[in-house]
Amino acid sequence: MSARPWRQTMLPNEIDVLVLGSGAAGLSAALSARDQGLSVVVVERSEVYGGASAYSEGMVWAPLSRQALEAGVPDTTESALAYLEEAASSYFDPRRARAYVENAPRALAFLEEQTGISYELTTTSMDYHQHLPGASRGARALSPQPINGRILGARLADLRSPLPTTMLFGGMSVAGNDLASYFALRHSPAAWFRVGGLILRYLLDRLLGYPRGLRLTGGNALIAAMLAAAEQCGIILCKGKEIVRLVRTNDRVSAALVAGKAGEQHRIRVRCGVVLACGGYTADESLREKRYPHVQRGVHHVSLVPSGNGSGHVLARGVGAKISEQCSQPAAWTPVSLVPQPDGSTVGFPHFLERGKPGVIVVGRDGRRFCNEALCYHRFVIEMVGEDGPPGGKAWVVADHRALRRYGIGVAPPFPGRLAPHLRSGYLVRANSLCGLAEKLGMDAGGLESTVDRFNGFAETGQDLDFGRGDDPYSRAAGDPARSPNPSLGPLEKAPYFAVRLYPGDLGAFAGVATDASARVLDDEGRPIPGLCAAGSETLTVTGGDYGAAGLGIGPAMTMGFIAGRTLKAQNRGKRQVADHG
Ligand SMILES: Cc1cc2nc3c(=O)[nH]c(=O)nc-3n(C[C@H](O)[C@H](O)[C@H](O)COP(=O)(O)OP(=O)(O)OC[C@H]3O[C@@H](n4cnc5c(N)ncnc54)[C@H](O)[C@@H]3O)c2cc1C
């Protein structure tokens, strides 16, 4: 096991490509540019690499991937584009969307080849808006397979850990496709063997002195593989450093000033260009307040993004770039609960899964439901903070005992996990009756009782007459196939009852630096700024502000980063941009 730090101490005076940010977008751009024979430095502002990408599930939306073709799942570029267009509506940008859809399978194949990470088609993950033309069922979202953290050796400490609330026992990562085994513990001996094996492996890693399990999953696996590949191919990685200014001379971005620890400034001349991949603005409270209408109305918001604080936008503006808000939503939303920590702080947990399960509803302080709970996380939050949402944007997931023990709520685990710590911390609220639960939450008890009564009736007939939950394939899939007549509807009837408070949260920015189909940054007049590219959450989204499928964060970040690397090489040669080739 090597204890060598990442190669980072000596920043060169001159380099071909300077990448700012070490998430999926930045590392993809770095690997792509390096593959083109360019010398590359990645500068990361934080003390750890990976950004929100390291927190993520690492899923990518890549239509017509090799994996989909091998599986024989029918799909076409035109139907993927039609889907994006319908979901984006008036914010659709056909050229950027086409560049994304056409290059995503190439970028994914490149990433697999360069890093050794392997992606599998997630056939259970369908496009979220099944009613839209072009929607696919299981052809486009892919998940990374776990990797062994030994590829980083002692430098594992340089990788941002997963969101603490998503790990078990304080350091054990869980892959998306492990979840089925965890949920099956109630009835399956095979699940006990599998989960037992994972826990044993984790304990062994801890006994060997590792600060967390070496089985890296999701975005952590992705970033670890990218970092290892970056170092191997000679990319200079440098963390804990801040670029304070980009320099534009002779009309192109030609240098950057890096701040040293003692306040001194180091100038790096950039021969081909700079890639901005700083992860957007959503980690900054004041910028959120500026852009999020619900925050302006006083609704508490929780961003899960660790480090994108808008500094990339400031650098971009400094050389004349346009920051665009041409999208229906300023960020990708998810409902979040706040998990109390031993030191008195709280950490967010994204509620992707349990809202659509039988025996689970979401209500406001008036005790009333306000939407189809099985909507995808982005649209659920739009409802939660919308005009017809719960009073004050305050909502609680409510479940009966049976549902909680089957599916869990947030970090409160299904059987055989322990509920006591979550009850003690106040994260999970329990009462023996709905009335008692409402009283503890300061909720309208009559409202909650009549809502549950009505919902239980829907569960019996299989028809949610209020919000149509379980009427469409996506919300049916969010339910439990064992439940009939409607997999998403089950009664809340077995006391005790439980609740967890939900807040609107975000997974990353949608508003951002304006770019074209070649990932070139545009100025206020829509002209490319030579020598400047951008990718990922730093840029205006290619989705128009919708989040219509799993992987629409990392997918575009990885793909536009890949394009940026190619573009800078082509620009340097004075050739046409990669995406223009179609
Ligand atoms: C819990 C969670 C789960 C998610 N799951 C998925 C998923 O499965 N699939 C999906 O598609 N999306 C997912 N997302 C969204 C996804 O993580 C983001 O869309 C994606 O990570 C954005 O990548 P990025 O490289 O643009 O930004 P980031 O990964 O955030 O990287 C930006 C980096 O830039 C650094 N930086 C900031 N400012 C500077 C500066 N001035 N100079 C240098 N460096 C700087 C930051 O510190 C950070 O390390 C998830 C998000 C969360 C929070």
Pocket test for ligand 1, best of 43, 56, 124, 160 (most atoms within 8 A of CB): 56
Mean predicted confidence (pLDDT) in 344-353: 96
User: What's the confidence (pLDDT) of residue 250?
Assistant: 83
Is pLDDT above 80 for 7?
no
In a domain, 363, yes or no: yes
Determine if the peptide bond prior to 340 is cis (ω within 30°).
Answer: no
CATH code of the domain in which 402 resides? 3.90.700.10
Handedness of CA 322, 327, 332, 334 (dihedral sign): positive
User: What's the confidence (pLDDT) of residue 2?
Assistant: 40
User: What's the confidence (pLDDT) of residue 177?
Assistant: 84
User: What's the confidence (pLDDT) of residue 404?
Assistant: 97
Asked if residues 519 and 15 have their Cβ atoms less than 8 Å apart, the reply is no
Provide the angle, in degrees to the nearest 10, between the axes of the packed helices 218-232 and 94-115.
70
Tell me the pLDDT band of 576, cut-offs 50, 70 and 90.
very low
Q: How far from the centroid of its chain's Cα atoms is residue 341's Cα?
A: 22
Claim to verify: residue 89 and residue 194 sit in the same structural domain: no
Claim to verify: residue 164 and residue 242 sit in the same structural domain: yes
User: What's the confidence (pLDDT) of residue 536?
Assistant: 98
Is pLDDT above 50 for 358?
yes
Asked if residues 380 and 397 have their Cβ atoms less than 8 Å apart, the reply is no
User: What's the confidence (pLDDT) of residue 60?
Assistant: 98
- Report d(CA 358, CA 407) in Å as an integer: 9
Number of domains in the chain: 3
Claim to verify: residue 14 and residue 92 sit in the same structural domain: yes
Claim to verify: residue 381 and residue 403 sit in the same structural domain: yes
Q: Is 414 helix (H, G, I), strand (E, B) or coil?
A: coil
Please identify, among 211, 230, 262, the residue that sits at the C-terminal boundary of a domain.
211
Q: Checking DSSP bridges between strand 360-364 and strand 395-400, what pairing results, if any?
A: antiparallel
In a domain, 298, yes or no: no
If we measure between CA atoms, which residue out of 549, 565, 581, 559 comes closest to residue 127? 549
Å from CA of 131 to ligand 1 middle: 29
User: What's the confidence (pLDDT) of residue 264?
Assistant: 78
Angle at 500 between CA 498 and CA 505, to 5 degrees: 160
Burial class (CB in 10 A: 0-12, 13-18, 19+), 149: buried
Claim to verify: residue 151 and residue 226 sit in the same structural domain: yes
Angle at 538 between CA 59 and CA 557, to 5 degrees: 25
Query: What is the C-alpha radius of gyration for the chain, rounded to an integer number of angstroms?
Result: 24
Q: Show the domain range for 405.
A: 332-505
Q: Nearest C-alpha to atom 48 of ligand 1 is from which residue?
A: 51
Claim to verify: residue 91 and residue 168 sit in the same structural domain: yes
What would you measure as the largest C-alpha separation in the chain, in angstroms? Answer: 72
Tell me the pLDDT band of 520, cut-offs 50, 70 and 90.
very high
Q: Checking DSSP bridges between strand 512-513 and strand 429-431, what pairing results, if any?
A: unpaired
Q: Is 305 helix (H, G, I), strand (E, B) or coil?
A: coil
Å from CA of 525 to ligand 1 middle: 28
User: What's the confidence (pLDDT) of residue 580?
Assistant: 46
Claim to verify: residue 443 and residue 545 sit in the same structural domain: no
In a domain, 68, yes or no: yes
Handedness of CA 459, 464, 467, 471 (dihedral sign): positive
SS3 track for 186-251:
CCCHHHHHHHHHHHHHHHHHHHCCCCCCCEECHHHHHHHHHHHHHHHCCCEEEECCEEEEEEEECC
List the single range of 178-187, 325-334, 412-421, 508-517 with lowest mean pLDDT.
178-187
Q: Nearest C-alpha to atom 37 of ligand 1 is from which residue?
A: 278
- Report d(CA 441, CA 501) in Å as an integer: 9
Segment 26-35, tens digit of pLDDT: 999 999 999 9
Claim to verify: residue 15 and residue 27 sit in the same structural domain: yes
Mean residue pLDDT of the chain comes to 94
**Four-point Cα dihedral 293, 299, 303, 309, nearest 10:** 50
Claim to verify: residue 131 and residue 273 sit in the same structural domain: yes
User: What's the confidence (pLDDT) of residue 5?
Assistant: 46
Burial class (CB in 10 A: 0-12, 13-18, 19+), 401: middle
In a domain, 47, yes or no: yes
Asked if residues 567 and 515 have their Cβ atoms less than 8 Å apart, the reply is no
Segment 99-125, tens digit of pLDDT: 999 999 999 999 999 999 999 999 899
Please identify, among 505, 532, 563, the residue that sits at the C-terminal boundary of a domain.
505
Burial class (CB in 10 A: 0-12, 13-18, 19+), 369: buried
Q: What is the DSSP code string of 260-293? A: -TTS-EEEEEEEEEEEE----STT-HHHHHHH-H
Q: Kindly list the distances between the CA atom of residue 320 and the CA atoms of 160, 251, 252, 315, 533, in Å, as whole numbers in the listed order.
A: 32, 10, 11, 9, 13
Is pLDDT above 80 for 3?
no
Is pLDDT above 80 for 504?
yes
CATH code of the domain in which 136 resides? 3.50.50.60
User: What are the backbone dihedrals phi and psi of residue 574, each rounded to the nearest 5 degrees, phi first?
Assistant: 70, 25
Segment 225-284, tens digit of pLDDT: 999 999 999 999 999 998 999 999 988 999 999 987 677 788 999 999 999 999 999 999
What ipTM was assigned to the predicted interfaces of this complex? Answer: 0.99
Tell me the pLDDT band of 405, cut-offs 50, 70 and 90.
very high
Å from CA of 310 to ligand 1 middle: 12
User: What's the confidence (pLDDT) of residue 8?
Assistant: 47
Contacts of 344 (CB under 8 A, 6+ apart): none
Segment 302-311, tens digit of pLDDT: 999 999 999 9
User: Which is the closest atom of ligand 1 to the Cα of 506?
Assistant: 53
Å from CA of 306 to ligand 1 middle: 8
Asked if residues 366 and 444 have their Cβ atoms less than 8 Å apart, the reply is yes
Pocket test for ligand 1, best of 57, 276, 282 (most atoms within 8 A of CB): 57
In a domain, 297, yes or no: no
Please identify, among 484, 505, 526, the residue that sits at the C-terminal boundary of a domain.
505
In a domain, 402, yes or no: yes
Å from CA of 56 to ligand 1 middle: 8
In a domain, 268, yes or no: yes
Is pLDDT above 50 for 575?
no
User: What's the confidence (pLDDT) of residue 425?
Assistant: 97
Claim to verify: residue 498 and residue 357 sit in the same structural domain: yes
Q: What is the DSSP code string of 506-552? A: EEEESSEE-B-TT-EEEBTTS-EEEEEEE-GGGB--SSTT---STTT
Å from CA of 548 to ligand 1 middle: 18
Q: On the CB side of 458, how many CA atoms lie within 13 Å of its CA? A: 26
Ligand 1 neighbours, Cβ below 6 Å, are 20-26, 43-46, 50-53, 55-59, 163, 243, 277-279, 304-305, 307-308, 311-312, 350, 507-508, 536-538, 550-555, 557
If we measure between CA atoms, which residue out of 134, 160, 539 comes closest to residue 326? 539
Asked if residues 540 and 327 have their Cβ atoms less than 8 Å apart, the reply is yes
Asked if residues 228 and 114 have their Cβ atoms less than 8 Å apart, the reply is no
- Report d(CA 572, CA 467) in Å as an integer: 55
Asked if residues 504 and 379 have their Cβ atoms less than 8 Å apart, the reply is no
Å from CA of 372 to ligand 1 middle: 29
Q: Is 148 helix (H, G, I), strand (E, B) or coil?
A: strand
User: What's the confidence (pLDDT) of residue 579?
Assistant: 47
Is pLDDT above 50 for 126?
yes
Segment 271-305, tens digit of pLDDT: 999 999 999 999 999 999 999 999 999 999 999 99
Pocket test for ligand 1, best of 43, 53, 165, 540 (most atoms within 8 A of CB): 53
Tell me the pLDDT band of 9, cut-offs 50, 70 and 90.
low
Tell me the pLDDT band of 484, cut-offs 50, 70 and 90.
very high
Amino acid at 9: T
Claim to verify: residue 491 and residue 375 sit in the same structural domain: yes
List the single range of 9-13, 73-77, 414-418, 433-437 with lowest mean pLDDT.
9-13
Claim to verify: residue 397 and residue 497 sit in the same structural domain: yes
User: What's the confidence (pLDDT) of residue 574?
Assistant: 66
Asked if residues 95 and 517 have their Cβ atoms less than 8 Å apart, the reply is yes
Segment 191-219, tens digit of pLDDT: 999 999 999 999 999 999 999 999 999 99
Residue 497 token pair: 């009852």
Q: What is the DSSP code string of 446-477? A: HHHHHHHHHHHHHHHHT--TTT-TTSSHHHHH
User: What's the confidence (pLDDT) of residue 407?
Assistant: 95
Asked if residues 136 and 83 have their Cβ atoms less than 8 Å apart, the reply is yes
141-144: strand order across its sheet: 60-61, 141-144, 119-121
User: What's the confidence (pLDDT) of residue 262?
Assistant: 74
User: Which is the closest atom of ligand 1 to the Cα of 57?
Assistant: 8
Is pLDDT above 70 for 6?
no
Å from CA of 436 to ligand 1 middle: 41
User: Which is the closest atom of ligand 1 to the Cα of 312?
Assistant: 41
User: What's the confidence (pLDDT) of residue 572?
Assistant: 80
In a domain, 239, yes or no: yes
Residue 501 token pair: 């408070």
Residue 99 token pair: 């560049």
User: What's the confidence (pLDDT) of residue 311?
Assistant: 97
